């Protein structure tokens, strides 16, 4: 009886030990991390500061650029990444975080151009690569932007993909964003992102604002000059903050609330992924070249004199034609205003800064005055107002909620 008990116990202990052995963690590396033996890339989006760096389409197939890239790669990269791009350069095989295999078609197709540019620029000195023990040096201090593009173009040839490395060639590179878009954005923006989702018309029937058509060139909320596409940071801001507006049947009781919800609770990485998908709907984002943004200087001090000048500018610039003398959106032209879809659009009630769609801080109003709101009758004043005049007008606009008086400035 006792022997039987101990035999059972022995079998139990044996089972436990075998189980522990089977689930034991992989051998710990000396850097203290566990590593993917196949090579080092992680599925993370490029951060905002790199999100707009898209390689010009011509670079990928430009023989001169590829030759230049080969020269750089051979002298600086091949020692780790290998002459064949297989990640088996003599110095690379000894690394705890293995260089990736650039010949792997699937792996290369999953990553975007701004990801590669980020990696070449910052090397392994940024997370999550630093934490994994990446030894890749940052090249931004030694290679020009053109040189980094060139080396990327050459590296891309290892995957034997001929043509630009863009989402419409590699749909897998925006697959995560596409899934998020399908769940969170399609009801309003439509399957193809044309702003024709089934919910959109219910939000504001037969009038503006309607959900954005991402395939068009007109985006209202930008930090870029009039007529240009927004930066990823602009899109990120809109996605994070949402858009306030008076709405239609689906928003009864929600006046002044967001007609587009805020996605600030969505993880940053997911917001960046969905924006990469949104950008993939409009090839213009890949043809931007160097992105120029409007510089918004630090706001000056608000003074009564500034408001007096702003009031005069408000009249001279004919703001009151649409927004009304007191800024209530009831100017003589207000009833006739239409957007670029020929839908009636209301002039913003400037006495309610909490509803400003592009933000209500002085710098937000400044930016709106400089960039205008594309697709709406709100023009850009970049060419007609001096810098200081723009601040005068921005402060006056914000003062309208206080009857044109000096007081604390608005906040988002």
Partner 1 sequence: MTKAMSVIGAFIVVAVVSAGHSVADEGPISGAVKAIDASGKTLTLQTTAKGKTRDVTIILKPESKIVKFTRPTEPGKTGFVAQPLALSDVKPGWIVSVTTRHEGGNEVAEIVTVVLEKPQ
The answer to whether 63 contacts partner 1 (rule: CB under 8 A) is no
The answer to whether 298 contacts partner 1 (rule: CB under 8 A) is no
Write down the least CB distance from residue 11 to partner 1, Å.
Answer: 9
Write down the least CB distance from residue 65 to partner 1, Å.
Answer: 23
The answer to whether 17 contacts partner 1 (rule: CB under 8 A) is yes
The answer to whether 54 contacts partner 1 (rule: CB under 8 A) is no
Write down the least CB distance from residue 2 to partner 1, Å.
Answer: 6
24-33 long-range contacts (CB < 8 A, ≥24 apart) are 29/96, 29/133, 30/96, 31/96, 31/133, 32/133, 33/96, 33/97, 33/131, 33/132, 33/133
Please name which of 248, 227, 223, 252 lies closest in space to residue 359, comparing C-alpha atoms.
Answer: 223
Write down the least CB distance from residue 256 to partner 1, Å.
Answer: 42
Please name which of 66, 100, 63 lies closest in space to residue 80, comparing C-alpha atoms.
Answer: 100
Residues binding partner 1: number (CB under 8 A): 40
In degrees and rounded to multiples of 5, residue 6 shows phi and psi of: -70, -35
Write down the least CB distance from residue 25 to partner 1, Å.
Answer: 8
Helix (H) or strand (E) holding 107: helix 105-110
Contact in structure between 234 and 219 (CB atoms under 8 Å): yes
Residue of the chain from 46, 55, 72, 80 that contacts partner 1 (CB under 8 A): 80
Considering only residues 337 through 376, tell me which ones interact with partner 1, judged by CB under 8 A. Answer: none
Write down the least CB distance from residue 230 to partner 1, Å.
Answer: 33
3-state secondary structure at position 401: helix
Helix (H) or strand (E) holding 259: strand 258-260
**What string marks each residue from 160 to 179 as x (binds partner 1 by CB under 8 A) or -?**
--------------------
Indicate the DSSP class of residue 216: S
Write down the least CB distance from residue 131 to partner 1, Å.
Answer: 4
Sign of torsion over alpha carbons 67, 71, 76, 79: positive
> Using DSSP, how many helices (H) and how many strands (E) does the chain show?
16, 2
Q: Which is nearer to partner 1, 17 or 387 (CB)?
A: 17
> What are residue 244's DSSP bridge partners?
258
Q: How far is CA 135 from the centre of its chain?
A: 28
**What string marks each residue from 23 to 52 as x (binds partner 1 by CB under 8 A) or -?**
-xx-xxxxxxx-x-----------------
Q: Which is nearer to partner 1, 127 or 287 (CB)?
A: 127
In degrees and rounded to multiples of 5, residue 400 shows phi and psi of: -60, -25
In degrees and rounded to multiples of 5, residue 258 shows phi and psi of: -85, 125
Tokens coding 4: 């039987």
Determine the Cα–Cα distance for residues 387 and 365; give it in Å rounded to an integer: 13
Contact stretch for partner 1 (CB under 8 A) within 74-82, 108-116, 189-197, 370-378: 74-82
Q: Which is nearer to partner 1, 132 or 367 (CB)?
A: 132
**What string marks each residue from 112 to 151 as x (binds partner 1 by CB under 8 A) or -?**
---------------x--xxxxxx-x--------------
The answer to whether 91 contacts partner 1 (rule: CB under 8 A) is yes
Contact stretch for partner 1 (CB under 8 A) within 77-85, 114-122, 216-224, 258-266: 77-85
Determine the Cα–Cα distance for residues 370 and 379; give it in Å rounded to an integer: 9
Residue of the chain from 6, 106, 253, 408 that contacts partner 1 (CB under 8 A): 6
Place of tokens 């009151």: 320
Residue of the chain from 69, 85, 87, 89 that contacts partner 1 (CB under 8 A): 89
Residues in CB range of 326: below 8 A, 6 or more apart = 351, 400, 403
Write down the least CB distance from residue 83 to partner 1, Å.
Answer: 7
Write down the least CB distance from residue 27 to partner 1, Å.
Answer: 4
Q: Which is nearer to partner 1, 124 or 190 (CB)?
A: 124
Strands 243-244 and 258-260: antiparallel
Return residues touching partner 1 (CB under 8 A): 2-3, 6-7, 9-10, 13-14, 17, 20-21, 24-25, 27-33, 35, 78-80, 83, 89-91, 94-97, 127, 130-135, 137
């Amino acid at each position: 009886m006792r022997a039987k008990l101990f035999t059972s116990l022995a079998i139990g202990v044996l089972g436990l030990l075998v189980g522990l052995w089977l689930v034991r963690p992989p051998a710990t590396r000396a850097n203290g991390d566990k590593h993917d033996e196949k090579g080092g890339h992680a599925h993370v989006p490029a951060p905002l500061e790199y999100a707009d760096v898209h390689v010009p389409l011509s670079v990928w197939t430009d023989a001169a650029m590829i030759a230049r890239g080969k020269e750089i790669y051979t002298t600086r990269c091949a020692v780790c990444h290998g002459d064949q791009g297989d990640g088996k350069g003599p110095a690379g095989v000894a690394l705890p975080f293995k260089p990736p295999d650039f010949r792997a078609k699937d792996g290369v197709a999953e990553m975007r151009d701004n990801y590669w540019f980020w990696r070449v620029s910052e090397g392994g000195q940024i997370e999550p690569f630093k934490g994994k023990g990446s030894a890749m040096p940052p090249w931004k201090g030694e290679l020009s932007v053109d040189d980094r593009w060139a080396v990327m173009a050459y590296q891309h040839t290892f995957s034997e993909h001929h043509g630009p490395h863009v989402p419409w060639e590699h749909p897998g590179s925006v697959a995560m964003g596409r899934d998020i878009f399908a769940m969170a954005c399609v009801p309003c923006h439509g399957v193809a992102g044309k702003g024709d989702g089934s919910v959109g018309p219910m939000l504001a029937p037969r009038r503006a604002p309607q959900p954005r058509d991402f395939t068009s060139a007109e985006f209202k909320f930008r930090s870029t000059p009039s007529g240009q596409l927004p930066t990823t940071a602009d899109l990120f801001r809109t996605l994070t903050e949402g858009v306030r507006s008076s709405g239609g049947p689906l928003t009864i009781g929600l006046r002044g609330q967001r007609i587009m919800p805020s996605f600030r609770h969505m993880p940053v990485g997911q917001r960046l992924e969905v924006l990469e998908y949104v950008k993939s709907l409009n090839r213009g984002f890949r043809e931007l070249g160097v992105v120029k943004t409007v510089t918004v200087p630090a706001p000056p001090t608000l003074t009564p004199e500034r408001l007096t000048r702003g009031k005069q500018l408000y009249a001279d610039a004919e703001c009151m034609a649409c927004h009304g003398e007191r800024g209530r959106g009831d100017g003589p032209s207000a009833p006739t205003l239409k957007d670029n879809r020929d839908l009636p659009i209301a002039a913003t009630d400037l006495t309610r800064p909490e509803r400003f769609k592009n933000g209500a801080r002085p710098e937000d109003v400044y930016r709106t005055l400089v960039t205008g709101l594309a697709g709406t009758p709100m023009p850009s004043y970049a060419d007609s107002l001096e810098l200081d005049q723009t601040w005068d007008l921005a402060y006056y606009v914000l003062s309208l909620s206080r009857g044109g008086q000096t007081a604390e400035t608005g906040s988002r």
